Amino acid sequence: MTAPAKRFAELDFFRGLALLIIVVDHIGGSILSRATLHAFALCDAAEVFVFLGGFAAAVAYQAHSARVTEAGARKRFMRRALQIYRAFLITAGLMLLTSAILRAFSIDAPNMNRGDLDGLIASPARVLRDILLLKRQPYLSAVLPMYVFFAAAVPFVLPLAHRRPRLLIAASVATWAAAPWLNRYLPSIDGARWDFNPFAWQLLFVMGALARCQPIHQHVSASQYGRFATLLAWAVAGAIAVYVIFVSPHASGGVLKQNLAWMRVISFTAIAWAVGSLIRRGWAARLADAVPAVGAIGRQGTLCFVGGAVISLAIDSVLFQLTGGRLNVPLGLLADALAIATLVAVSRLPAVMAALTPASPSSSR
């Protein structure tokens, strides 16, 4: 009876860890970002977060279907799509507001939303319309539109993940292969492509859902090929690490990330399989128990993503202003500590607000 709780603790831990990494990775002068996933792999925390999003969606859909009905689960995820859309609008607004505040203090940095902010001042109605239509996605808000699509697709993906997994895999791979062509049909301004092509990134979301619905890792690990599969995963991950560290540190950015290039898929799959073998030994559960603050961030995923976007933009811009874009170890470490502490504080806001809200007479009875 304790197994589900353990899995949820591990899921929250890895989601929280991914959010922490995303925050420091978007601070140019960060010292910790020199040792995060992208420093030794052809993928980064974005892959982790999308994969875990698919896994978490499967957990939630299964639980809600069992507790209510499958029709109720479908309605819940359509509401979830609207919630993520609202989160996108809030994040986009906060990106512009943060940039405006920084500009007011004469702080200028590469990641500030200069074009969007200038456009908002010149033609506010047009810019707001473009944001509402997902044509304009200011800086770190750009990842959320694809999550709107993913949440809306859950009622179609999860039944297939349970009953027709091979059909789902085939459809997902075909969509991923056609993603660069399909990307041109997404709403955009002047032909600009989305930073995260949802037709490509759905592959990882589907992989996460299948990992929950079809325990392939457990079956293979328990078979005679289990040890070979794990050794192969570690070997591939190690070879990619050598390539990234010593040959081409920036081999997977730009359009390769936008359209989730095959090399990023292979890199993530190898790491995920290798880490899965360690999870089965219980180390992730022990880490989750040892660092509960990370799990708290994972449980407040949407809130912490929105807050983390503001934290990254603000700290990155101020640090760039202070250092002139040059690496400064003491200030970089201070920026990392401030970013992490602030994100932990954001994760605790719901509990603080609940404690400050007086109980209604009916609830007290």
Q: Copy the structure tokens of residue 196.
A: 């995260």
pLDDT at 208 > cutoff 60: yes
Q: Copy the structure tokens of residue 151.
A: 């949440």
Are residues 125 and 132 in contact, defined by beta-carbon separation less than 8 angstroms? no
Question: pLDDT digit string (tens) for 226-252?
Answer: 889 999 999 999 999 999 999 887 766
> What is the spatial distance between Cα 62 and Cα 69, in angstroms, rounded to a whole number?
10
Query: What residues does each domain of the chain span?
Result: 3-348
Lowest-pLDDT choice from 54-58, 139-143, 209-213, 277-281: 277-281
| Helix extents (H) in 133-225 | 144-163, 165-177, 179-182, 198-213, 216-222
Of the chain, the percentage scoring pLDDT greater than 70 comes to: 95
> For the CA atoms of 16, 134, 193, 245, what is the dihedral angle to 10 degrees?
-10
pLDDT at 2 > cutoff 80: no
Are residues 88 and 148 in contact, defined by beta-carbon separation less than 8 angstroms? yes
- The pLDDT, as a whole number, for residue 5 is 42
CA triplet 137, 139, 143: central angle to 5 degrees?
65
- pTM as predicted: 0.92
Q: List the one residue out of 335, 337, 340 whose CA is nearest residue 318.
A: 335
